[in-house]
Amino acid sequence: MIEFRSVTKEFPDGTVAVEDFSFVLPSHKTTVFVGSSGCGKTTLLRMINRMVEPSSGQILVDDQDIADQDKVQLRRSIGYVLQSSGLLPHRKVVDNVATVPVLKGVPKAQARSEALALLDKVGLDRSLAERYPRQLSGGQQQRVGVARALASDPNILLMDEPFGAVDPIVRADLQVELNRLQRELGKTIVFVTHDIDEAFILADQVVIFRKGGVIAQAGTPAEILADPADDFVASFIGADKGKRALRLQQREDDRGLTLVVDGDGRPLGVLDRRATS
Amino acid sequence: MDLLLSALRWIVDGSHWQAGSQSPLPIQDRLVEHLTYTAIAVVIAAVIALPLGFLIGHSGRGRQFVIGFTGAMRALPTLGLLFFLLMVFGYFLSFDTAPIVGATISFVILAIPSMLAGAYAGLESVDRQTIDAARANGMTEWQILLQVEIPLGLPLIIGGIRAAVLQVIATVTIASYAGLGGLGQIISNGIGNNNYDLILGGALLVTALALVVDGLFALAQRATATRGLTDTRPATAARRRPTSRSPRPHASENA
């Protein structure tokens, strides 16, 4: 469990990124922070592993104030995946994955063999282990980034727009893959994105932010879709334009097929008959 | 052309390499002196400049200092500095030590700017995201410096050392003005005696020495170039476009 207690962050230049933010992120669930750039979501994420120090307020992980913990040890106990994979370009894939265990003092040979097993887990071929990050595609690099974050078997996984820089097809793959991994591992994931659809795919709990780290609405994807708190949320998720209010439509020539259309009558797909029976 | 051939003949003449010949011979003694002064100056300069450059590059503080300082230092005429220091140290030190101290300090001051700039620029060239990720993964600041910044900045760091060494090799020629020998001794002796073989031969020796040492550095730079940044064997058809995340400027840019 990660708990924010009236956390404020004011940067030296006077910008207030987050003001009096209080929130609880449940364990073993995926919480997605979503909002447009500059809403403070990344700042909040980076406060969890003390890459950013709050100006005031407390952050507790499993009821322990992280301000009392050693920064370096704390960071080693939390997985972190960045938008740019952030891999070390001069180290082979396998050594990148083994980074944190080696820092923690696990013998190198053991760390490397465990790293290979992790490559399997994130769906990468072991033949890539001896490559350098530059030699991988963007999607593969992100998978290596995820493997590295998982290497020390952390309870918490922080993901800062990890799929933001890959193309839409690969992104969709990675999202499905992350959901599969999460079902298997049950980590406490904090995921930051500006893509509301990505948030709905991944989240157990979605937190939509306004500027200044103010929560516009928090809830499950269904709760938010069904009942946007206000106009801001409605426009953010696209409900105001009728994008989210789907209807079923049967047309005469369709031989009994049922279309799914959005508020403007734009067909989105066909209703799967197995779903209704 | 005749002068050049004559000078070359003078260099390869075995009798000029005979141990115990009269000053400014034998050549190898002057060569060893030249290299010794160079090595001493470069090592002292490295001990001062590299840690300072790493500190500035790592912390990002003092950037203005580097730019201003290295610019000002580079404008300092080494010959003038040498005479000034000889005069100053002449008051405090004995007749034997004043020249060596004065000359060494001038050469160290000559070598520092390039090395400082190289060390700083090497660290500065490392992608901020890579460093941020290393820190977020729980590397200590020392581990970031030693395992990330220095290895990735190595080509520029060595480039700075390379530039410094070349400058010092060329400039140690003036050590003979302080009575310290070196290859400059051959040249000044030639000037004194109006002997073009000595003047040109000495100059050619300095040039050859500089080229050889520079070649060695070029090899070292290639050997230490980070493999992950140069090896471009494609992994898949969907390989990422070569966005220059961690720029690795060509080595000679700094030399």
CATH of the domain at A109: 3.40.50.300
Average the pLDDT over A64-77 and give the result: 91
A196 vs B: CB within 8 A:
no
- pLDDT tens-digit readout, A104-121: 899 999 999 999 999 988
Average the pLDDT over A164-173 and give the result: 86
Does residue B252 belong to any structural domain of this protein? no
Q: B136 to chain A nearest CA, in Å? A: 6
The total number of structural domains in chain A stands at: 2
Supply the pTM of this predicted model. 0.80
Tell me the C-alpha distance between A148 and B137, whole Å. 9
Who among A76, A135, A170 is closest to B231 (CB)? A135
> Does A19 share its domain with A147?
yes
User: A148 and B139: CB-CB below 8 Å?
Assistant: no
Residue of A nearest to B238 (CA): A137
Containing domain of residue A273, as a range? 246-277
User: B236 and A51: CB-CB below 8 Å?
Assistant: no
Does residue B133 belong to any structural domain of this protein? yes
Who among A86, A90, A140 is closest to B152 (CB)? A90
Does residue B249 belong to any structural domain of this protein? no
Containing domain of residue B49, as a range? 2-14+23-227
3-class SS string, chain B: CHHHHHHHHHHHCHHHHCCCCCCCCCHHHHHHHHHHHHHHHHHHHHHHHHHHHHHHHHHCCCHHHHHHHHHHHHCCCHHHHHHHHHHHHHHHCCCCHHHHHHHHHHHHHHHHHHHHHHHHHHHHCCCHHHHHHHHHCCCCHHHHHHHHHHHHHHHHHHHHHHHHHHHHHHHHHHHHHHCCCCHHHHHHHHHHHCCHHHHHHHHHHHHHHHHHHHHHHHHHHHHHCCHHHHCCCCCCCCCCCCCCCCCCCCHHHHC
> Does A191 share its domain with A62?
yes
User: B140 and A72: CB-CB below 8 Å?
Assistant: yes
Who among A72, A86, A139 is closest to B130 (CB)? A86
> Does A165 share its domain with A265?
no
> Does A139 share its domain with A187?
yes
Chain A positions in Cβ-Cβ contact with residue B147 (cut-off 8 Å): 88
> Does A264 share its domain with A155?
no
B61 pLDDT higher than 90: no
Does residue B247 belong to any structural domain of this protein? no
> Does A211 share its domain with A264?
no
Who among A89, A128, A131 is closest to B130 (CB)? A89
> Does A222 share its domain with A273?
no
pLDDT of residue B229: 66
pLDDT of residue B144: 93
- pLDDT tens-digit readout, B101-150: 888 898 899 899 999 999 999 999 898 889 999 999 999 999 999 999 99
pLDDT of residue A213: 83
Among A147-161, A236-250, B158-172, name the one with the lowest average pLDDT.
A236-250
Chain A positions in Cβ-Cβ contact with residue B238 (cut-off 8 Å): 137-139, 170
User: B231 and A88: CB-CB below 8 Å?
Assistant: no
Chain A positions in Cβ-Cβ contact with residue B143 (cut-off 8 Å): 103
> Does A267 share its domain with A168?
no
pLDDT of residue B255: 34
A16 pLDDT higher than 60: yes
> Does A173 share its domain with A198?
yes
> Does A256 share its domain with A202?
no
Does residue B53 belong to any structural domain of this protein? yes
B232 vs A: CB within 8 A:
yes
pLDDT of residue B251: 37
Who among A49, A86, A134 is closest to B229 (CB)? A134
- pLDDT tens-digit readout, B81-105: 888 888 888 888 777 788 888 888 9
> Does A237 share its domain with A255?
no
- pLDDT tens-digit readout, B39-48: 999 999 999 9
- Quick check: B208 and B27 in contact, CB under 8 A? no
The total number of structural domains in chain B stands at: 1
CATH number at residue B160: 1.10.3720.10
Amino acid at B228: G
- pLDDT tens-digit readout, B216-247: 988 888 887 766 665 444 444 334 444 444 44
Chain B positions in Cβ-Cβ contact with residue A72 (cut-off 8 Å): 138-140
A82 vs B: CB within 8 A:
yes
> Does A235 share its domain with A250?
no
Residue A245 pLDDT grade (very low, low, confident, very high; cuts 50, 70, 90): confident
